[in-house]
Amino acid sequence: MRNGLLSWILPKPHKPLRPESEIRTLYPKFRWRILEATFLGYSVFYTVRNNFPVVSKEIGQALSYSQEQIGNILAITAISYGIGKFLMGALSDRSNPKIFMPLGLVLTGICNICFGASSDYQTHLILWGLNGLFQGMGWPPCGRSLGHWFSVKERGQKFAVWNIAHNVGGGLVGVIAAYSASWFGWRNAFYIPAALSFLTAIYLYFRLLDTPQSVGLPSIEEYSGTETDSSKISESERELSFKEIFIDLVLLNKYIWVFAIANFFVYIVRYSLTDWGPSYLKFAKGASLEKGGISTLIYEFAGIGSTLLVGWYSDKVGGKRGLVSLVCMVPILFALFGILLVPSGYLWADLALFGVVGFFIYPPVMLLGVAGLDFTSKKAVGTAAGFIGLFGYLGRTALSKGLGWMSSYPWFRWEHSIFIIFLSAILAIILLAFTWNWKPKH
């Protein structure tokens, strides 16, 4: 029954096909709307997710939290986000992105307001865990939308453009949270991003669309000419059952498993310098609050150009996302070694090396998600990406919990964190070596 709340969130039914002249006019216009709206929406999701690490030192000082407690908050949001990305991905595959994504922004904004208003550790732990769960409503509707509006032959390029949302949102949160806390107190590092998330949710509700067929347009396969067999097109547009999505297309898919395990170690590297990088610079190199926040901006923005270039190149080599990801991981080893060697007082060198890691880590982050779509159905993209993302955030959880636990011992030195990240990069390279010749069959 498609009524009430259920009809409000379920995918929109197909409408009669528009005339050819309207299709030629509307398809490019609506594709731009999808790319622009999902880009903006996902950027804002970052401002209400990665704001805590930027001000974690200040919260710890204000509320007398230990480094282990800070690590626990980081760990719980990492694991809840991984779970949320998987579960919400499955729901997203059977939902209307126009509703699903704005709803996620509203819920995560509420968690931020409540977090900023609280001074209790247990309450903070619960709220940031819930925030991670609701954050899982960000990527899956974007993946569903892009999978329906852009064809496989342009997927690397278009996902690369969209993926810059990670860098824009991740970079801006470092500045927004740091300066909000510096000027108005640490609680405003949560209030101000929350207000931004509410405004963006309203915008997305009026800007996003569901599938092309829901607005009277042909499927992307018909529009792009990548598929002419009507029976295959009809099958690819069929809404799948949860069993088909979970079991057949994800859990029994060996390609998804390998990319997921590799993502575990890639995400340790990725989040090491956003979750712990500002603290590393403050404690080990004497950086200020503002300079710690700027390190995140440099790290995130450094990945913009490389993501565009590598996304385009992965299409040119036949969709060998694993091979390209492998190549990108190698320079990261040298940059991490350089961070370890730079003495205190040379912050410019640390920031430059943060930029090198950011330049090379974001292409694999993007490509492993795209690989999930390449090796499954577009009707299961949210679940596949969520499964790969789950392993990624298990890696982030292991990093946060491990470093938080280690920091409670007197033998701990911040340099130990760099060794852990270095080892993770090596393990990611070993796993990606198995995928060097994999490319989408279609």
**Residue 295: per-residue pLDDT:** 77
Q: How far apart are CA 91 and CA 84, in angstroms?
A: 10
Regarding the domain with residue range 34-224, which homologous superfamily does it belong to in the CATH classification?
A: MFS general substrate transporter like domains (1.20.1250.20)
How many separate helices (H) and strands (E) can be counted in the chain? 21, 0
Q: With 70 as the cut, is the pLDDT of residue 141 above it?
A: yes
Asked if residues 54 and 174 have their Cβ atoms less than 8 Å apart, the reply is yes
pLDDT 10s digits, 322-358? 889 999 999 999 998 888 887 777 777 888 888 899 8
- Backbone φ and ψ of 355, nearest 5°: -65, -35
The mean pLDDT value of the chain amounts to 84
pLDDT 10s digits, 217-273? 998 888 877 655 555 555 555 566 667 777 777 878 888 999 999 999 999 998 888
**Residue 2: per-residue pLDDT:** 46
Structure tokens at 353: 């090396």
The ranges of the chain annotated as CATH 1.20.1250.20 are 34-224, 242-441
Class of domain 242-441: mainly alpha
Mean pLDDT check: name the lowest of 119-133, 135-149, 171-185: 171-185
Eight-class DSSP state of 342 = P
In this structure, the dihedral spanned by the alpha carbons of residues 334, 336, 337 and 342, taken in order and rounded to 10 degrees, is 120
Q: With 60 as the cut, is the pLDDT of residue 154 above it?
A: yes
**Residue 208: per-residue pLDDT:** 95
Q: How far apart are CA 93 and CA 378, in angstroms?
A: 9
Give the list of residues 6+ apart from residue 125 with CB closer than 8 angstroms, or none. 72, 73, 76
The larger pLDDT score, comparing residue 213 to residue 294, is at: 213
pLDDT 10s digits, 353-412? 888 998 999 889 888 878 877 787 766 777 888 888 889 888 887 887 777 777 677 777
Q: With 60 as the cut, is the pLDDT of residue 442 above it?
A: no
Asked if residues 238 and 40 have their Cβ atoms less than 8 Å apart, the reply is no
> What is this structure's pTM?
0.75
Q: How far apart are CA 124 and CA 333, in angstroms?
A: 35
**Residue 100: per-residue pLDDT:** 94
Eight-class DSSP state of 433 = G
Q: How far apart are CA 320 and CA 327, in angstroms?
A: 11
Query: Per-residue pLDDT averaged across 143-165, rounded?
Result: 85
